[in-house]
Amino acid sequence: MKLMVTGGAGFIGSNFIRHMFNTYPEYQLINLDKLTYAGNLENLKDIADIAGESGRYSFVRGDIADKALVESLLRDGVDAVINFAAESHVDRSIDDSKIFVDTNVVGTQVLLDACLKYKLNRYIQISTDEVYGSLGPTGKFSETTPLAPNSPYSASKTSADLFVRAYYETYGLNTLITRCSNNYGPYQFPEKLIPLFITNAYAGKALPLYGDGMNVRDWIFVTDHCKAIDLVLHSGKPGQVYNIGGNAEKNNTEITKTILKALDKPESLIKYVKDRPGHDRRYAIDDTKIKNELGWSREYDFESGMQETVNWYLENRSWWEKIKTGEYLKFYSRWYEER
């Protein structure tokens, strides 16, 4: 099987490529990535070195909204597209939403058109639980929960999901959508909560906690997510949505204290900052469907996943220390100062 993975130099995409490369030695993998600030080829340096000239893995730098480029890659017999490519950080979408529309909506439409043109066997849209909006103190998101995005980022992901659904209903394109809870694990860009707080705490820097710190998310270790996508790719029913959850609801204060304890750092590093606009209060995923239909199950509980994550960041300081400079720090210094 020949797969094109878009956004494969990012956090989840690179972990998915590593999983597929190691699990299916006969598969060919094309990684199409624009290499924006969160894309990093070092995430897959080991895979590129192993693949060598075998043709099992190749990297193409480019934009999923570039129609000519996308078509040139798909016309040579790709079997499936798995679309991880997205602008994904809520804070940045509040600061400037245009690029989120360009990549997340227009880019998805370009991919769908190309898949239709070249009659691909399967297209998987990697989405997010944020398309459902916010939950009250009880209940969970199911695949039939109405879509109610509350940020420019989640609105762009919702729009993309609706395009994917429309191409199945209108053209019969073999599409699927996965919606996952919050991921954590190796190679996550350190603007996200867990890697930001691990790296800040290690360096003795403040941990900027939004609002009262009681926003709740369901957390899943990235490897479990990748294995779920693998199942959807091979066994998912066309036109369906599959929720993927971690069964680990934690508020941000719990996450923060877990990290501080793991690093033996004081809680005095916590710095409460003004809450961001449109900050959903609680997410929780009902993943009954993917368990019952595809037989998926998690291998990591939250405690073991967090320990592995903390260990990885401690053992790979050179990876994140290179990142936490330049444009990244400028954006976040200004963001937190304004709030």
Active site residues: 129-130, 153
Q: Partners of 251 in the beta sheet?
A: 216
Q: Name the 3-class secondary structure at 127.
A: strand
Nearest to 39 by CA among 71, 87, 74: 87
The H-assigned helical ranges of 189-316 are 193-202, 222-235, 252-262, 288-294, 302-315
Q: Tokens 């290499």 correspond to what residue?
A: 35
Q: What is the Cα–Cα distance from 118 to 229, expressed in whole angstroms?
A: 23
Q: What is the Cα–Cα distance from 247 to 298, expressed in whole angstroms?
A: 9
Q: What is the Cα–Cα distance from 246 to 261, expressed in whole angstroms?
A: 22
Q: What is the Cα–Cα distance from 55 to 311, expressed in whole angstroms?
A: 33
Q: Tokens 């880019």 correspond to what residue?
A: 107
Q: What is the Cα–Cα distance from 75 to 78, expressed in whole angstroms?
A: 7
